[in-house]
Amino acid sequence: MHDHINDPYVKAAKKDGYRARAAYKLKEIDEDEKLIHSGQLIVDLGCTPGSWGQYTRRKLAGKEGGGINGTIIGLDILPMEPIADMHFIQGDFREQEILDQLAEVLQGRKADLVLSDMAPNLSGIATADAARMEDLIDIAIEFSQHHLKPGGSLLVKCFKDMGFTQIYEKFKQEFKVVKQKKPKASRDKSSEIFLLGRGLKHPVQN
């Protein structure tokens, strides 16, 4: 608790109006990799509480008379406080009803960028947690194969101590360029790491 209160990113998030310190992880990766640009279509998987959506919205802002240059779609099983100009769909995106809602917003378009800050509820049993993490990554990759432009990018959160080797290999099988990113806002003692995949090797024609 003491670490959290004194965390500079927690303080910065309060000052900058972000819902969570996670915004600075995306900010650093974006500044490094130039992921988010005006006019893009961006899908945020597991978007609640919304700090990645807030950061993305700020990057796409600047349209005359308000609004954004681009489209942001957030999906999560959990509810989320609205974010201006962001389409939020609550539900499990493995279910057809939710995919139909997504298709309505997409209108045949493919995403430039898919983001996933999803993490499993941890049981403390290493093998079970690793399997859950891998399952979430599989879902994000499969989603990207269907909804990402062939030259688009997927950024996911994973953990070095949760089946990382297998996850990394999967990324290399599916993407032309794969990078590991450990932003400064990611706590030193955390095994959290982000994987960035660019350019699909096996896009699915919908």
Active site residues: 157
Q: Is 76 annotated as a binding residue?
A: yes
3-state class (DSSP) for residue 135: helix
Q: Is 117 annotated as a binding residue?
A: yes
The span from the first CA to the last CA of the chain, in angstroms, equals 47
Q: Is 3 annotated as a binding residue?
A: no
Q: Is 135 annotated as a binding residue?
A: no
Which token pair is 175?
């993407």
Q: Is 44 annotated as a binding residue?
A: no
Counting Cα atoms < 13 Å in the Cβ hemisphere of 73 gives 25
3-state class (DSSP) for residue 142: helix
CA distance to 7, 25, 72, 90, 171, per residue, from 147 (Å): 36, 24, 13, 18, 16
> Residues with Cβ < 8 Å from 171, sequence gap 6 or more?
141, 178, 195, 197
3-state helix vs strand vs coil in the chain, percent to 5: 40, 25, 35
Question: Would you list which residues are annotated within the binding site for S-adenosyl-L-methionine?
Answer: 50, 52, 76, 92, 117
Binding residues: 50, 52, 76, 92, 117
